[in-house]
């Protein structure tokens, strides 16, 4: 069974999507439509922008979404048995699976990026990658810090968890996790504490936009970040999508569940090969591809 997976923030690169724009008329139409929806020429930044410009949240998130969705839409053999996306990638997965239109998906992604950017400015916050410790140790250390906010945010693969919270909370957790035997505790160059309670203002802002958007039942189950379970019911998909902003991305558990449900081929749909690397560490027996 084929599982199509869609990457999140961090997979962007200079010149992304330019080859698609040049080689496919239907891709070109969608790129131009994206410029129209966003109200600025995102294609110019994607094709010619600097790494610095591409790193801005309000550019990165739509750019990765646009690239990923166009790859799925112009692929003549796109026929998933199941889909999943990492954080932002969940929106790409939902559009690829027909639960949302390209237009509505992109509008929601733009609103999400904007709301997250605003939430980041309220309180200094950050994220850190913790390598080489069991999930349970990381959960315990984070739970033990009560005077600051710090939580597990991304369960990426066994031995790789990203934590998220206030600057002081993350720094304190890094010290304690190093003392507990972490191979590395590396503060990430991000603008805020994604997938933590500090994203509550963004969650509230996005909730009304998600409720207002037109969703349809997807063509296959969508394994969602918040609980790593397959969803096909519109009301469940919406609720999980709203919860996603303040809840951890359970990527390890999602891949394990997809494998348990019969996935033997994982196809990464989007810029880069980050997810293939993670899947290999979670389920080494599966076949990996990208489009």
- Residue pair 159/133 in contact (Cβ under 8 Å)? The answer is yes
Q: Is 195 a catalytic residue?
A: yes
Residue 20 to residue 274: CA distance in whole angstroms: 20
- Residue pair 64/7 in contact (Cβ under 8 Å)? The answer is yes
277: exposed, middle or buried (Cβ count in 10 Å: 0-12, 13-18, 19+)? middle
**Which of these is catalytic: 11, 68, 87, 125?**
87
Strands 222-223 and 265-268: unpaired
Q: Is 243 a catalytic residue?
A: no
- Residue pair 75/24 in contact (Cβ under 8 Å)? The answer is no
- Residue pair 283/259 in contact (Cβ under 8 Å)? The answer is yes
Residue 197 to residue 148: CA distance in whole angstroms: 11
Residues 6+ apart with CB under 8 A from 138: 130, 152, 161, 163, 177
**Which of these is catalytic: 92, 195, 196, 254?**
195
Q: Mind telling me the catalytic residues?
A: 87, 195
């Amino acid at each position: 069974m084929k599982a199509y997976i869609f990457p999140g923030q961090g997979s962007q690169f200079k010149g992304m999507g330019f080859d698609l724009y040049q080689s496919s008329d239907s891709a070109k139409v969608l790129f131009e439509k994206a410029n129209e929806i966003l109200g600025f020429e995102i294609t110019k930044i994607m094709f010619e922008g600097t790494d610095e410009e591409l790193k801005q949240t309000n550019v990165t998130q739509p750019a990765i979404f646009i690239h990923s969705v166009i790859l799925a839409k112009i692929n003549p053999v796109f026929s998933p048995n199941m889909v999943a996306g990492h954080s932002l990638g969940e929106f790409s997965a939902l559009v690829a699976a027909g639960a949302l239109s390209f237009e509505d998906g992109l509008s929601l992604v733009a609103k999400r990026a904007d709301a997250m950017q605003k939430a980041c400015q309220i309180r200094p916050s950050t994220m850190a990658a913790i390598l080489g410790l069991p999930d349970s140790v990381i959960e315990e250390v984070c739970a033990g810090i009560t005077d600051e906010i710090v939580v597990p945010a991304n369960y990426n693969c066994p031995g790789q968890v990203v934590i998220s919270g206030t600057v002081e909370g993350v720094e304190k957790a890094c010290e304690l996790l190093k003392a507990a035997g972490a191979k590395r505790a590396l503060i990430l160059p991000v603008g805020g504490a994604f997938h933590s309670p500090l994203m509550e203002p963004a969650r509230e802002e996005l909730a009304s936009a998600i409720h207002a958007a037109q969703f349809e039942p997807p063509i296959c189950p969508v394994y969602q970040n918040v609980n790593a379970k397959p969803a096909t019911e519109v009301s469940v998909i919406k609720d999980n999508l709203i919860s996603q902003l303040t809840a951890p991305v359970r990527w390890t558990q999602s891949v394990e569940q997809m494998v348990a449900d019969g996935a033997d081929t994982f196809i990464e749909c989007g810029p880069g090969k980050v997810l293939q690397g993670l899947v290999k560490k979670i389920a080494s027996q599966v076949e990996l591809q990208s489009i």
